[in-house]
Structure 1
Amino acid sequence: MFNGIISIRNKNGEEKVKIERPGGSLSPIWSICWNPSREERNDILAVADWGQKVSFYQLSGKQIGKDRALNFDPCCISYFTKGEYILLGGTDKQVSLFTKDGVRLGTVGEQNSWVWTCQAKPDSNYVVVGCQDGTISFYQLIFSTVHGLYKDRYAYRDSMTDVIVQHLITEQKVRIKCKELVKKIAICRNRLAIQLPEKILIYELYSEDLSDMHYRVKEKIIKKFECNLLVVCANHIILCQSWVCFLGETAAVPVLQRSEGAGVADGVSHSLHQGDRWPSWKRRPLSGAEEWTDPEDLRGQSLCYRPAEAGHSCALLGHECLP
């Protein structure tokens, strides 16, 4: 209601639970939705109010977790894919996708006016959006597979914000909760690299035991990168853009493969979109940075960035060296 109160009643209209949102009339309740999932232990109510908050409650009225802050006034909230995700729209003129816990994942679609309603087609990945200017939009959401494989270890994204590492022989699994959208994953030897929207996390195994499944954070690179491919090496990580320049011509790089060497002497071979394959590159240290060069007259090159506080380098193919 406009006074910031939620009243839960039975089918006869008798009030059973009363929930009062902080702020009262300054945080009018604008949209609510029950989670349709049958796998949840409790009935969960998602609440969007004009205090620019999203909150979650059990049927008993007990709040689940903390309020999730927004930077706009929400006008509609609904669950997507059987309660696994949340659709949220409002005065920011767009529909955004959130996890069922309220972590923002990305934008579904931008509009020209306030979004007053957004609903998912049951048992599908289609979403319809209605706006203040009378327009109706129809979207199909497709989730890509984000994973990495190294010998008997397979790492993959789960629930968009978690990473699961599975040992293919022992079938052991470990879950790493990142609490942010996982964009890229790379795994090699005892290292695991996870790219998040504003940073990259590098994990390593606790021990050299081949069956060990305990990972700990080794380094954090607090920087936003845009890349299509992520590769982790012995002491470096490589981020590859869509295009790289060779002899004045641009070509797509859909495949980037690491070649193991002795110690940290890793090389990289890459395949171009038109089918060409270039040999491994040797690593040559420079002051303050690293450069990967093609042994055949430097026909391809990439510069990479090494943060002073981190022991890793990030290669950006075809881009200027970052400051």
Structure 2
Amino acid sequence: MQSTTRYFSSSYAQARDRFLSAAAPVAAHVQSYAIAPAGSEGESLATDVALIGDANAERLLIMTSATHGVEGFCGSGCQLALLDDAPMLERARRAGVALLLVHAVNPYGFSWVARTDEGNVDLNRNAQPFDGRPLPENPGYGPVHGLLLPQEWPPTEQNRQDLARHIEQHGRPAVTQAVSRGQYTHPDGLFYGGDWPAASLVNLRSILQAHASRHARIGWIDVHTGLGPRGHGEKIYAGRRDEAEVARARRWWGSDIAVPYQGSSASVDITGHLAGLIYQACPDSEPTLMALEFGTLPWEDVVHALRGRNWLRAHPEANGVLRREILQATLDAFYCGQEDWQGMVLGQSRVAVLQALCGLEA
């Protein structure tokens, strides 16, 4: 059995180099969309795109990675495995399906081991009109913000008690909803959706318009990590509130596909969902959208890691030991480097791709 290690990288720079090298011999077109900030190693940052197959095919399957930066360690591995999967690439060709692999939607977060971009924006909460209309309100976030981001890290015992008391008073489901659904009032906070389209989101919109809009039928798998049991890939419907689209997603990926707005997902019903860009960028296409979410650690540990990473952003003077501890905790929350977890990820990712090809072909 081949090792999975060669598909999973130890840094954004290594992942990008591997992706571009693997795409070169099989892709009909490769293009890079740069952003201004530099990476953690001083490297240039870009979202790289590989189109495999006929650019004018009726059917297209998109796979995206690193919507949430650090989650790219997993998503990039899935893309590299697909690029190395000659039988699956041939299956796509025979089905008349072109493949569009979008590597590192959020290259800044991937490089700096953060879930958010250079402005602390969560790209999966940033797809808002920003046209002068009021942004979605989240009144439950404000009261818990100061508890989530204390002055000291690690949190003091008093902070732990105060946060536990807040959860007890309001109920865990309500607090989870308030924390993770997206907020637009605290730029230094968790799950901040921004006040303007982020540069990486603008790049993704351009990518969809340039490379996806000509295709009549589109499938999209956006690879995520952090929610659910370790190694389990929850299939989360990522489209609009359209029962016909939900039904089509279930035909493709199975009746166990979770639907956040129906309350059947580990994910809350978020606002500003990134996949919603496709309805503007590809208005004449029929999309079928799914986020494939691989579990890592318990939710409480994931939130604790996010709190620490936001604290570090606000305290760049933190000593080296504490910085390394926070970054490692962030990585552990969104990427399990063990080979059994990697194997579970690649197996489920391959099945999801095959199901999408069958759905597009049907």
TM-score tier after normalising by the smaller chain length: under 0.3
Greater RCO structure (CA 8 Å; 6+ sep): 2
Higher strand proportion: 1
Who wins on radius of gyration, i.e. which is larger? Answer: 1
